Amino acid sequence: MPSQIPNALAIKLASDPKWILKRFDELTTLELFSILKLRQNVFMLEQASLYPDIDGADLSALHLFLVSDQYEAETQTPLPILAYGRILAPTQLKEDLASSQKISFGRVIIAKEARGTGLGTALIDQLMETIKMRFPDVSQIEIGAQAHLENFYGKFGFVKVTEPYDDGGVLHIDMHCRL
């Protein structure tokens, strides 16, 4: 099945050239290792959330991340990734079969040492900007957010559409944002 995610090399992020955007097959082994290590450290170890983090969705997703500009290739492994999120391929909206599509992003992470710096806002801005630029037929973004982040995502136009539910031991809510 061909991926609906376009070639990441053709995607230019307008607001900040430091952000890296790649399809799974474009990630280097060091980038993939560093992404999975960050996801493991935050979701499984820090938040004690046990779920199958490595899933088939990674294979067809766009991976957006920011590596610290303090990185020195000769001395550091893994890469010091400060922020990460993945964009999943768009799907057709059930209520509007004409042309509208929905899309989702997830696995949103800010490294512990970068929290409280505004990088979370920058990451969501980059994810949303990338979706708007690359997927013009998308009319809605749907996310499964940790419940305690409802107000944070609300600043970007997301609205809660479900009651809290347990996902891997962490309360989540589904949220939608119309574009």
Report the pLDDT averaged over residues 24-52. 92
The pTM of this model reads 0.85
Considering the chain, what percentage of its residues have pLDDT values greater than 70?
83
Q: If pLDDT is split at 50, 70 and 90, which confidence band does 93 have? A: low
**Which pLDDT does position 135 carry in this prediction?**
92
Residue 167 in contact with residue 52, Cβ under 8 Å? no
CB atoms inside a 10 Å sphere around CB 105: 21
What's the pLDDT band for 6 if we cut at 50, 70, 90? very low
Cα dihedral 70, 74, 75, 78, rounded to 10, equals 80
pLDDT in tens, 13-26: 444 558 999 999 99
pLDDT of residue 68: 87
